Every structure is written in structure tokens, then in C-alpha cells.
Amino acid sequence: MRGWQLATNGDPADVLVLDDLVDPAPNEHEVLISVEATNVNFADILQCQGKYQEKPELPFTPGVETCGIVVDAGSSGVCRVGDRVVGMTSSGAGGYAELALLASRSVLVIPPEVSADVATVLFTTYQTSHVALHHRAALQAGETLLVHGASGGVGSSAVQLGAAAGAIVIATAGGADKCAYVASLGAHHVIDTHSEDVYETVMELTGGSGVDVAYDAVGGELGDLTRRLMAWEGRLLIIGFAAGGVPQYPANHALVKNYSIIGLYWGSYLTPERRHV
């Protein structure tokens, strides 16, 4: 098969090579698919750089979210040969190739009316935001939701789902083009991090009370700032660290303001019960 592979860590443009590769062989916990569509995920960049929490053994093919036709269904019973499925890849045999391996525990059969590209895009980003906002943070209509990195994959999904739930969505993004895009998704207020003071603007928009729910997939300095923007009994969702830095939250600050710090790694919900998948 043809596919992209890297033998050393680095930026994707520097280390990925298109080559003839050996067809992957599934084990009892994997499903082999013929790839139809693969998402471009920030996790793929981090894996190439060797900075992601899950580090495939080199050499490997990236592409963590992939959709395709089942070639070998294995023994898990989650699908059959010929099914169109979407899932998370396994064993370093990702979706940037003609064939890929999916972890059986992650596989979902796609309804015929859903296209491959839509299924792949929806798989992690929207389910992450749905579980984060509704299961972990119990977002309610009328509450104020702050979304950082709102022009990105998970951020944009959080804006849409938050607005659909009746929340007042305040979003941050960098630059006029990204801000215009975020506004088109339904954000009520968009803050340009390149030209506006995030703290002052959020506090002005909320009358000084802060936000009920914060959705932070950025981390870094913006993540450090977010704790100061939490309302009484607010919920701060930790989604990721796109900026690279991992914020440190003083426990005494959460104590005196009575807000909760809530982690969310959606992949952990890919259990046989799939209660939130």
C-alpha cells in the first residue's frame, strides 16, 4: 500500500515521507479498513513531534481519526466486513495511508446518510465537546460559556454545541479572520487575543461576575488567566494544551471561589459500555 510514514520525530513537513509500505495486519483487538477519509487532528502534529501523551513506536503512520470500509473485522464482533466505520487508529498504522488499523473498542458503524468526511470530523471533536459540556460541566441554558481556541477543531464544536444549548457563548481567537469565522458559528461575543485584553473584556461582558463554564483546549498563559475568570461555583474544563504550557492551578484559589477544575479526555469513555459515546 501507499502511505505517509515517519522514522524520526519532528514537524510533519520535515519528517513525513510518502512511500510503499507493508500492509498492516490486525490483531484480535483491531479492525483493518480501506481508508476513505482521515481527519487532520492537532494530535497528529503532536505525535509526529513526539509530544503527545500516546507515543507510537517509530516508524509509524499518523492519522488518529479515520473512516473507511472494513476489510478484516477481527474477532471483536463490533462490525462486519464491508461495513463503513469510523474510529481511532491503533499500532501506529494510522489513516494517512490506503489501509489503516482501528482499535476495536473505538469503532462505530456509520449510518448510510452520513458521509465519510463528516463522520471523521464529528468523531472526536464533537463528542469531546458534548461530553465535556453536558456530562462533565452540566451546562445549562442561560449560563455563560467561555471557549478558548474557538476557531480550532474542539473549540469550534464547543461554540456550536454551547450556543445550541442556550448558553451565552464568549469565544477567543487570534486575528480578524478567525474571529469572523467563530462569530459565524454562533458565538455571541468574540475576543481577538491579538488586539484585546481577554480578562478585561470577559469581566466587562459578565458584569464582573466571570463565566459559569470555561472550555480550555489551549493552556499556556491563557490557561493560567482562565482561573481568574471563573464565576462563583463555576466549572473550568481542561480539554488540552495547544499552546504547549500546562497551567498550574493553586488549590486555594479554587477553594475560596468555589469553582471546580474538571478534566476531560474523551478517549477514556471508549469502554464496552460506551455510556457517553
pLDDT in tens, 40-91: 888 899 999 998 888 899 999 999 999 999 999 988 888 999 999 999 998 8
Q: What is 124-269's CATH number?
A: 3.40.50.720
| Domain range list for the chain | 2-110, 124-269
Q: How many residues does the chain have?
A: 277
Looking at per-residue confidence, does 220 or 161 come out higher? 161
Please give the model's pTM, rounded to 2 decimal places: 0.87
> Is pLDDT of 247 > 90?
no
* 3-state class (DSSP) for residue 125: helix
pLDDT digits (tens, 9 = 90+) for 100-137: 999 999 999 999 999 999 999 999 999 999 999 999 99
Query: What whole-number distance in Å separates Cα of residue 118 and Cα of residue 122?
Result: 6
Q: Residue 243: which pLDDT band, with cuts at 50, 70 and 90?
A: confident
* 3-state class (DSSP) for residue 21: coil
For 2-110, give the CATH class. alpha beta
* Average pLDDT over all residues of the chain: 94
- Apex 202 CA angle, 198 and 141, nearest 5: 135
**Strands, E, within 1-151: which ranges?**
2-5, 17-20, 30-38, 65-72, 84-88, 99-103, 108-109, 144-147
